[in-house]
């Protein structure tokens, strides 16, 4: 209401955030939170072997350094860019929600930013001083301590962000108390942290399998030792993922659980929900079978097979992130702000006065016969464009066509007018329509008009902004 509306009509606003966020989470969890402790453990293994006079100590250290090189390059490039990209895209697409989160969790985010800076400092120290640390055992011991500190700081950044993510799903008693502590210690915080932590370690193990096959193609004997150790790592953490997942699932509010079939399989495939769950479970079992194969029969494993556990992990983590984002609908901040960026407490005012009257950036503060289509577009931008496009991803036109014109005939105006005010009762993941009756009519007229066209209609980033005449007074 108080921000110009950025809109990607060819792609969809929420898909932009989703793509950036999923890439960042996979890099952050797999190559930072989970991988750095594994690398430090491998370095420690090499340190102990060298100190006790075993010849494979240097091999462990060299392999750990190569792993760290991969982690360093990817996290400081793609990881950093997608981290900034989340902030940039969220500020464009969901400025009201991100502004609310900053106000609520300012101190938590400040602490997280300090810890993140320490993480950046330690990753530079840990990677750039690796070779110097090999001059003696004392230097190596200090280097391992630096790796341990880096691992802790990496986990702490996730631990703080998870508190904010949990709040978005279940705000707990914050709505009544409005305090940082009640917001951060929300009911979903510990379950989500308990799930993400071992999941990150399992992701790291999958990456380590692939890199071991890549870097140790000629040293079969040492490769077998490394693969067995990584397999032990996987066997330790995978059960934690399973039980933490059950714990997490058990605390999801019932209303959100009702969204699961659509959250996991999308609306088009929700009837396949049960089967898809079996496929996901089967994929995890297959991944564990590959772990056993890699550990005990590495000589028979083709290199390309080592990428399969990584693909399984990417699909699993991507599915989890989609599930987490979708099940909280119709809210973007549970019991506080709907996904259309409008506050729950303001709905009575909007449904009486209309949203246009209170919008800062609109060319039509009210609906008239003369401005019906323009007002309809403004209503669409304010109430629908956060999730829907005109003709592309999650098209509003196709949604109505599936309901009221499955054979391609023109949409039924009266059915649309009757449906919009009550659509949230059947599609419980959608917020109630916030506008009044004239704005419903205008929105219907606008959707009927764009059904006849097939063009992309971008947002303020292309069309510019116009301030409501009511706000110019």
CA pair distance 203, 367, nearest whole angstrom: 53
Q: Decide which of 338, 361, 382 is a domain's last residue.
A: 338
Q: Is the peptide bond before 56 cis (omega within 30 degrees of 0)?
A: no
Residue 77: DSSP 8-state: I
Q: Domain check: are 109 and 149 in the same one?
A: yes
- What per-residue confidence (pLDDT) applies to 263? 56
- What per-residue confidence (pLDDT) applies to 115? 95
Angle formed at CA 334 by CA 332 and CA 337, multiple of 5 degrees: 55
Residue 8 covered by a domain: no
Claim: this prediction has a pTM higher than 0.95 = no
Q: Domain check: are 189 and 307 in the same one?
A: yes
Residue 4 covered by a domain: no
**C-alpha distances in Å from residue 299, one per residue of 43, 207, 256:** 25, 19, 47
Q: Domain check: are 329 and 351 in the same one?
A: no
Residue 264 covered by a domain: yes
Residue 256 covered by a domain: yes
Q: Domain check: are 390 and 326 in the same one?
A: no
Q: Decide which of 298, 318, 338 is a domain's last residue.
A: 338
Pairing state of beta strands 331-333 and 337-338?
A: antiparallel
Q: The domain spanning residue 370 has which CATH number?
A: 1.10.760
Strand partners, 333: 337
- What per-residue confidence (pLDDT) applies to 456? 84
* Contact between residue 341 and residue 332 where contact means Cβ atoms under 8 Å apart: yes
Helices and strands (H, E) in the chain, number of each type:
23, 2
Q: Decide which of 314, 338, 362 is a domain's last residue.
A: 338
Q: Domain check: are 350 and 286 in the same one?
A: no
CA pair distance 138, 47, nearest whole angstrom: 10
Q: Domain check: are 293 and 441 in the same one?
A: no
Residue 1 covered by a domain: no
Per-residue pLDDT in tens (0 to 9) along the chain, 473 residues? 688 999 999 888 888 888 899 899 999 999 999 999 999 999 999 999 999 988 899 999 999 999 999 999 999 999 999 999 999 999 999 999 999 999 999 999 999 999 999 999 999 999 999 999 999 999 999 999 999 999 999 999 999 999 999 999 899 899 888 899 999 999 999 999 999 999 999 999 999 989 998 898 888 889 889 988 998 898 889 888 888 888 888 888 777 777 666 655 455 444 444 555 565 677 677 777 877 887 777 777 777 777 888 888 888 888 788 778 878 888 999 889 999 999 999 999 999 999 999 999 999 999 999 999 999 999 999 999 999 999 998 899 999 998 888 777 788 899 999 999 999 888 888 999 999 999 999 999 999 999 888 888 888 888 888 898 887 76
CA pair distance 228, 54, nearest whole angstrom: 18
Residue 263 covered by a domain: yes
Domain residues for the domain of 82 are: 13-338
What tokens appear for 297 in the block?
A: 């029969």
Q: Domain check: are 199 and 69 in the same one?
A: yes
Q: Domain check: are 379 and 429 in the same one?
A: yes
Q: Domain check: are 249 and 357 in the same one?
A: no
What tokens appear for 280 in the block?
A: 């996901």
Residue 459 covered by a domain: yes
Domains identified in the chain, total number: 2
What tokens appear for 207 in the block?
A: 């990456």
* Contact between residue 245 and residue 267 where contact means Cβ atoms under 8 Å apart: no
CA pair distance 179, 316, nearest whole angstrom: 34
Give the DSSP letter string of 398-424.
HHHHHHH-TTSPPP-HHHHHHHGGGHH
Q: Domain check: are 200 and 286 in the same one?
A: yes
Burial of 104 per CB tally in 10 Å (0-12, 13-18, 19+): buried
Report the SS3 class of residue 318.
helix
Residue 3 covered by a domain: no
Residue 94: DSSP 8-state: -
Distance, first Cα to last Cα, the chain: 17
Q: Domain check: are 165 and 290 in the same one?
A: yes
Q: Domain check: are 87 and 169 in the same one?
A: yes
CA pair distance 140, 42, nearest whole angstrom: 13
């Amino acid at each position: 209401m108080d921000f110009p509306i950025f809109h990607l009509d060819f792609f969809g606003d929420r898909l932009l955030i989703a793509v950036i966020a999923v890439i960042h989470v996979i890099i952050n969890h797999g190559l930072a939170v989970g991988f750095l402790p594994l690398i430090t453990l491998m370095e420690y293994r090499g340190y102990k072997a060298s100190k006790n006079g075993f010849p494979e100590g240097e091999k462990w250290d060299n392999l750990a350094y190569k792993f760290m090189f991969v982690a360093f390059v990817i996290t400081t490039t793609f990881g950093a860019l997608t981290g900034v990209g989340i902030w940039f895209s969220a500020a464009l697409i969901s400025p009201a929600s991100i502004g609310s989160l900053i106000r609520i969790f300012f101190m938590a985010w400040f602490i997280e930013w300090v810890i993140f800076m320490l993480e950046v400092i330690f990753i530079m120290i840990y990677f750039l001083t690796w070779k110097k640390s090999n001059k003696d055992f004392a230097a190596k011991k200090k280097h391992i301590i630096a790796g341990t500190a880096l691992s802790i700081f990496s986990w702490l950044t996730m631990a703080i962000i998870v508190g904010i993510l949990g709040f978005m799903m279940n705000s707990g008693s914050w709505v009544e108390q409005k305090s940082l502590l009640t917001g951060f210690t929300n009911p979903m915080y510990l379950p989500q942290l308990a799930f993400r932590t071992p999941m990150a370690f399992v992701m790291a193990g999958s990456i380590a399998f692939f890199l071991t096959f890549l870097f140790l193609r000629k040293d079969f004997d040492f490769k077998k030792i490394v693969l067995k150790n990584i397999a032990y790592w996987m066997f330790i953490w995978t059960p934690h993922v399973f039980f933490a997942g059950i714990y997490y699932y058990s605390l999801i509010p019932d209303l959100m659980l009702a969204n699961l079939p659509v959250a996991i399989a999308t609306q088009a495939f929700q009837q396949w929900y049960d089967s898809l769950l079996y496929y996901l479970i089967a994929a995890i079992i297959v991944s564990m079978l590959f772990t056993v194969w890699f550990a005990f029969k590495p000589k028979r494993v083709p290199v390309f097979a080592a990428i399969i556990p990584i693909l399984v992990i990417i699909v699993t983590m991507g599915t989890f992130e989609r599930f987490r984002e979708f099940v909280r609908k119709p809210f973007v901040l549970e019991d506080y702000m709907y996904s259309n960026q409008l506050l729950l407490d303001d709905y009575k005012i909007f449904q009486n006065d209309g949203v246009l009257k209170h919008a800062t950036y609109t060319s039509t503060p009210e609906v008239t016969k003369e401005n019906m289509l323009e007002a309809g577009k403004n209503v669409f931008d304010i109430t629908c464009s956060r999730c829907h496009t005109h003709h592309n991803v999650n098209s509003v036109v196709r949604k109505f066509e599936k309901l009221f014109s499955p054979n391609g005939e023109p949409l039924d105006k009266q059915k649309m007018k009757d449906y919009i005010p009550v659509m949230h009762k059947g599609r419980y993941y959608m917020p109630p329509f916030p506008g009044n009756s004239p704005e419903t009519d205008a929105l219907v007229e606008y959707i009927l008009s764009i059904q006849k066209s097939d063009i992309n209609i971008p947002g303020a980033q292309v069309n510019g902004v116009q301030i409501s005449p009511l706000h110019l007074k």
